[in-house]
Amino acid sequence: MDKLIITGGRRLDGEIRISGAKNAALPILAATLLADEPVTVGNLPHLQDVTTLIELLGRMGVRVVIDDRLNVEVDATTIKELTAPYELVKTMRASILVLGPMVAHFGKATVSLPGGCAIGSRPVDIHLRGLEAMGADIEVSNGYVHASVDGRLKGARIVMDTVTVTGTENLMMAAALADGTTVLENAAREPEVVDLANFINAMGGKVKGAGTDTITIEGVPRMTGCHHQVIADRIETGTYLIAAAITGGRIKTKDTDPTILDAVLQKLREAGARIEVGDTWIELDMEGRRPKAVSLRTAPYPAMPTDMQAQFMALNIVAEGTGTIVETVFENRFMHVQEMNRMGADIEVQGNTAICRGVEQLTGAPVMATDLRASASLVIAALAADGETTVDRIYHIDRGYECIEEKLQSLGAVIRRVPR
Ligand SMILES: CC(=O)N[C@H]1[C@@H](OP(=O)(O)OP(=O)(O)OC[C@H]2O[C@@H](n3ccc(=O)[nH]c3=O)[C@H](O)[C@@H]2O)O[C@H](CO)[C@@H](O)[C@@H]1O
Ligand SMILES: C=C(OP(=O)(O)O)C(=O)O
Determine the length of the chain.
Answer: 420
Give the whole-angstrom CA distance, residue 291 versus residue 358: 10
Q: How far is the CA of 372 from the centre of ligand 2 (A)?
A: 7
Q: Atom of ligand 1 at shortest distance to CA of 119?
A: 37
Ligand whose nearest atom lies closest to the CA of 238: 2
DSSP 279-346: SSEEEEE-TTPPPBP--EEB-STTSB-GGGHHHHHHHHHHSBSEEEEE--S-TT--THHHHHHHTT-E
Confidence at residue 286, expressed as pLDDT on a 0 to 100 scale: 98
* Level-2 CATH architecture, domain 3-19+232-418: Alpha-beta prism (3.65)
330 close to ligand 1 (CB < 6 Angstrom) = yes
Predicted local confidence at residue 116, as pLDDT: 64
CA of 14 to the centre of ligand 1 (A): 34
The tens digit of pLDDT for each residue in 270-302 reads: 999 999 999 999 999 999 999 999 999 999 999
pLDDT score, position 92: 87
Helix (H) or strand (E) holding 235: helix 234-246
| pLDDT tens track for 203-255 | 999 999 999 999 999 999 999 999 999 999 999 999 999 999 999 999 999 99
pLDDT tens-digit map of 160-171: 999 999 999 999
pLDDT on residue 117: 74
- Going by alpha carbons, the residue nearest to atom 15 of ligand 1 is 164
Distance separating alpha carbons of residues 405 and 148, to the nearest angstrom:
44
CB–CB of 41/71 below 8 Å? yes
- CA of 313: how far to CAs of 180, 301, 363, in Å? 46, 19, 16
| CB burial readout 373-384, b (16+ within 10 A) else e | bbbbbbbbbbbb
pLDDT score, position 114: 83
| pLDDT number for residue 241 | 98
Residue 80 pLDDT level (bands cut at 50, 70, 90): very high
User: For residue 107, what is the DSSP state?
Assistant: S
Q: Please indicate whether the domains covering 3-19+232-418 and 22-229 agree at the CATH topology level.
A: yes
Is 399 annotated in a binding site? The answer is: no
* Structure confidence at residue 89 as a pLDDT band (50, 70, 90): confident
Whole-angstrom distance, CA of residue 260 vs CA of residue 284: 16
C-alpha pair distances (Å), 145 with each of 27, 109, 140: 18, 8, 5
Verify whether ligand 1 is closer than 6 Å to residue 167 (CB atom).
Answer: yes
Measured from the Cα of 49, ligand 2's closest atom is 6
Domain 22-229 classification at class level? alpha beta
Examine the pLDDT at 70 and tell me if it is beyond 80: no
| Confidence band, pLDDT 50/70/90 cuts, at residue 102 | very high
23 annotated ligand-binding residue: yes
Average pLDDT over residues 136-158: 96
pLDDT in tens, 30-48: 999 999 999 999 999 999 9
Question: Could you write out the DSSP letters of every residue in 120-180?
Answer: B----HHHHHHHHHTT-EEEEETTEEEEE-SS--B--EEE-SS--HHHHHHHHHHHHTSBS
- Please report, for the chain, the start and end positions of each structural domain, with discontinuous segments joined by +: 3-19+232-418, 22-229
In order, the DSSP letters of 45-65 are ---HHHHHHHHHHHHTT-EEE
CA distance 8 to 385: 5
Q: Specify the pLDDT at position 212.
A: 98
Provide ipTM, 2 decimals.
Answer: 0.95
Nearest to 316 by CA among 280, 362, 274, 276: 362
Please give the share of the chain, as a percent, with pLDDT higher than 90: 91
Cβ distance 404 to 379 under 8 Å? yes
Q: Does the CB atom of residue 298 touch ligand 1 within 6 A?
A: no
At 317-357, the pLDDT tens digits run 999 999 999 999 998 899 999 999 999 999 999 999 999 99
Rounded Cα gap, residues 315 and 244, in angstroms: 10
122 — alpha (psi -120 to 50), left (phi > 0) or beta?
Answer: left
Mean pLDDT over each residue of the chain, to the nearest integer: 96
**Top mutation candidate among 332, 399, 402 for ligand 2, by most atoms within 8 Å of CB:** 399
Measured over the CA atoms of residue 305, residue 86, residue 49 and residue 102, the dihedral's sign is: negative
